[in-house]
Structure 1
Amino acid sequence: METVSRPTAPMTTPRTALLAGASGLIGNYLIFKLLKSDEYDRVISLSRRPLHLKHPKLEERVVDFDHLRPEDVAGAEVVFCCLGTTIRQAGSQEAFRKVDFTYPIEIARLALAAGARHYLLISSVGADASSRIFYSRVKGEVEQAIARIGFPSYTVLRPSILLGKRKQFRPGEIFGKVADWLLTPVSLLIPPLRRYRGIQAGKVADAMITLSREPVAGMQVLESEQLQRF
């Protein structure tokens, strides 16, 4: 596990989780796991539209991500950010950057001011603020920007090709599944390629919950092959 942190910090188990991006692939798995977890007696969901999900632990907050308010994130102790899109889906690089960069940073800024202590971010394999690839560069930039906000505990997860059933089909998924099928046997012979193997979205959600139980002081980054072990 790559860490940029001080030794593990003893912290009490948080009781209120805030999830941004419950309608996405990882977020959809995560919200059900959070609602089933005995460690959280309250789950706040931030979304543009109602989830149409009923549960005694769930509090839905339908928000305008372009104009987030302090009350939108109030009460959260742990923040799970699963926001993400594609340039094709967003329609432009500018719109993509808003979802994958601006919104996660604003949520982090407001949540820290409201008392949240741990921020978990879904990034991507290959995230690098100096990359020439726009997607990877934005992912790296948002990782760095949130680190500067100063959460006591900050966890970055960099999954590779996500496997699972989406509500909305993405054309690139077929290519991704074929690439994973071809890459899996090769990665067994060439260890550095293991980070690019596909990973089940449910496994990433499991990793987020496990990591939220064991926060470390400072920042920690987990690559996709590390998440496979969860």
Structure 2
Amino acid sequence: MARVLITGASGLVGGELLQLLQADPQVTAIVAPTRAALVPHGKLQNPHGGDLSELLAGLDQPVDVVFCCLGTTRRQAGSAEAFRHVDYQLVMASALAGQRLGAQHCLVVSAIGANPRSPFLYNRTKGEMEQALRAQNWPRLTLVRPSMLLGRAKPRLLERLSEPLFALLPGKWRSVAAKDVAQTLLTQAFSAGSGVKIVESDQLHCAR
């Protein structure tokens, strides 16, 4: 039985994962801080209505596992600084909150091409985020690196244009369903292991 913390529960992957957690008998409680209120559920504790960092700081009940499904783009965020706030600073805050509350396993949605030395802001930020998580010395850390995500009700313009191409690409570059990413996170959370594990995108297609 496990109590879990999840950030990004209102997003694409996070929303899929939240449904899986609610249905899983291994999960006894779900702590999901969000800006806007989520649909109530018997297992769900949903502090909401404020800055995520403040909501995380206010948590005081122990958890066993922390999932971080936060993610945006520079265009969505409005600036490079706002993008890094979500994809780096809030990810770090989520992990540290989980650590403070006793979690032994941290699972994070990163991205294909994550590299702290990349010239591209998105890939560099994801790589720096992974590097910083490793430095937290988790007993167990799982980093999932999906390619283009499928499953949005209203795909972004670039996703609509790129989706046919990404569906044809080989291996880890092929697009992947958000449901498969969520299922992988859940499976990894309750499987045996220790240390750092990286799950590349081509390992996600057969998750269900």
TM-score of the superposition, structure 1-length normalised? Answer: 0.85
Q: Which has the larger radius of gyration?
A: 1
- Is 1:45 aligned to 2:32, yes or no? yes
2:174 alignment partner in structure 1:
197
CA contact (8 A) 1:164 1:201 kept: yes
User: How far, CA to CA, are the matches of 2:46 and 2:13 in structure 1?
Assistant: 18
1:90-101 correspondence to structure 2 within 5 Å: 90-101=77-88
Task: Give the SS at the match of 1:61.
Answer: coil
* AA aligned opposite 2:190: R
Give the gaps of 5 or more residues in structure 1: 1-13, 188-193
1:208 alignment partner in structure 2:
185
- Is 1:229 aligned to 2:206, yes or no? yes
2:156 alignment partner in structure 1:
170
How high is the sequence identity, in percent, across the aligned residues?
36
User: How far, CA to CA, are the matches of 1:42 and 1:181 in structure 2?
Assistant: 36
TM-score of the superposition, structure 2-length normalised? Answer: 0.93
Task: Give the SS at the match of 1:140.
Answer: helix
Looking at both structures, which has the greater relative contact order when contacts are Cα pairs under 8 Å and sequence separation is at least 6? 1
2:144 alignment partner in structure 1:
157
- Is 1:117 aligned to 2:94, yes or no? no
User: How far, CA to CA, are the matches of 1:205 and 1:135 in structure 2?
Assistant: 21
1:11 alignment partner in structure 2:
none
1:190 alignment partner in structure 2:
none
Deviations 1:86-134 (A, max 9, x none): 1111000100000000001112112212211110000000001111111
4+ residue runs over 6 A deviation = none
- Is 1:71 aligned to 2:58, yes or no? yes
* AA aligned opposite 1:205: A
CA contact (8 A) 1:199 1:224 kept: yes
May I ask how many residue pairs the two structures share in their alignment?
206
2:11 alignment partner in structure 1:
24
